[in-house]
Amino acid sequence: MISEKNIRDQLRACIPLNTLSPENFTHLCNELNIEEIPAGKKIFNIGDDDTFSVYLIAGGLELSASDGIKNIIQAGQDTTRYALANLKPRRYNGIARTPVKIVRIDSHLLDKLMVIESVSLENTGGLVVDELDADSSGDNTWLMKLLQKKIFLDLPAAHLQEVLNRMQEIAVHSGEIIIKQGDPGDYYYVICEGRCRVTRKILPTDRHSLVLAELVTGDGFGEEALVSKNPRNATITMVTDGRLMRLSSKDFAELLEHPVLRWLSPKEASQAAKRGAILLDVRTEQEYTNSKIRGSMNIPLQELREGTAKLKPNSQYICYCDTGERSSAAAFLLRERGYDASVMRGGLALLNDLFAAKAQKTNPG
């Protein structure tokens, strides 16, 4: 029986895991699952274009190429310090010859960890990622959780490094209001430590607020107002003392919003919908009832954080509103949560202009 410590020792010798700091290696291991594969079952196929690096922990497997060449790999061999057949698309079938144990590590996550090993946040009480150890009070669990969000996995490494460089760490206290409903957007926040509560007043004159959610370590907030350029639509209050990292609206737009959002023209959106993409109207229910695109679904932007249960994880979504502002915020939120989401450029206004232009060509008089 192979112990958890033995597995970690094996992984610690693997390349490039052996270059990670002790804390980042520990956080990575805490996110991993050991897969047990029975003899005769395929682990991967020729042509697979997955995003995982596969390491062999126990047992033996066969790598077979399309030209008939075969290699037998046994756990403990020096070659198993490297990820198996890691070129993509894969050039080998991997078949378990005996019962095996493997670990799959997301290659994008591993690359991001390699980048942050050299990142330090300078001179303002910032986090020095590559000097943290197990006894440090500056635990970076938040960073591991952040890096596993879809938008950060997809972010170019240079952008990620610059995001971390430009973030500022601030200490916060229980009861402190971080974001107030109705205020303009100024920062994007990530929780390093602590918990906060999301509340909203339906009407400005309401005495009481609705509690919408509670956010914890690794969660980000404040992006809706920055992307949509609209006032804050909720209040965020600290429930405990803690620490936050924040990124200014200017840096957010340059480093996160622009690289992450995907824009489609109305024609491209229509073609994607014909191939099975779902049009997601993020206007209010009343606006949607008054005018909508046939076959679309409606989840208002202000309800989207809680409304993702209505969405299918493997579907493609194209967000739209009147102008593209609310829908761009919606697409960012969905991509942050791992959904395949795009924005219809210009929204319904541009779609109406397109139809008007066609009508003029049809009836020039």
- H-only helix segments in the chain: 4-12, 22-30, 107-116, 141-147, 150-154, 157-166, 223-228, 249-252, 258-260, 266-274, 285-290, 304-307, 325-336, 347-362
**Where exactly are the structural domains of the chain?**
4-106, 118-257, 261-358
**pTM, 2 dp:** 0.65
Q: Match 């737009």 to its residue by tokens.
A: 253
Topology annotation, domain 118-257? Jelly Rolls (2.60.120)
HSE, side-chain direction, 13 A CA sphere, residue 263: 12
pLDDT of residue 221: 94
How would you label 246-274 residue by residue, b for 16+ Cβ within 10 Å and e otherwise? bbebebbebbbbeebbeebebeebbebbe
Question: Residue by residue, what is the 3-state secondary structure of 127-187?
Answer: CEHHHCCCCCCCCCHHHHHHHCCHHHHHCCHHHHHHHHHHCEEEEECCCCEEECCCCCCCE
At residue 133 the predicted structure's pLDDT band, cuts being 50, 70 and 90, is very low
Q: Match 């699952």 to its residue by tokens.
A: 33
Alpha-carbon distance of 325 to 263, in angstroms, equals 12
Alpha-carbon distance of 112 to 198, in angstroms, equals 30
Asked if the domains 118-257 and 261-358 are classified in one and the same CATH topology, the answer is no
Least reliable range by pLDDT among 46-60, 128-142, 201-215, 238-252: 128-142
Alpha-carbon distance of 80 to 103, in angstroms, equals 12
Question: Residue by residue, what is the 3-state secondary structure of 281-311?
Answer: ECCCHHHHHHCCCCCCEECCHHHHHHHHHHC
CA dihedral 200, 203, 204, 210 (to 10 degrees): -20
pLDDT in tens, 308-342: 888 998 899 999 998 888 898 899 889 888 899 99
| Average pLDDT score over residue span 106-135 | 54
At residue 154 the predicted structure's pLDDT band, cuts being 50, 70 and 90, is confident
Q: Across the chain, what does the average pLDDT equal?
A: 85
Q: Cβ(335)–Cβ(319) under 8 Å? A: no
Residue 353 has pLDDT above 80, yes or no: no
Name the CATH code of domain 261-358 (choices 2.30.30.60, 3.90.1150.10, 3.40.250.10, 3.10.150.10). Answer: 3.40.250.10
Which residues are CB-neighbours of 273 under 8 A, at least 6 positions away? 279, 295, 318
Alpha-carbon distance of 275 to 264, in angstroms, equals 14
Report domain 4-106's class.
mainly beta
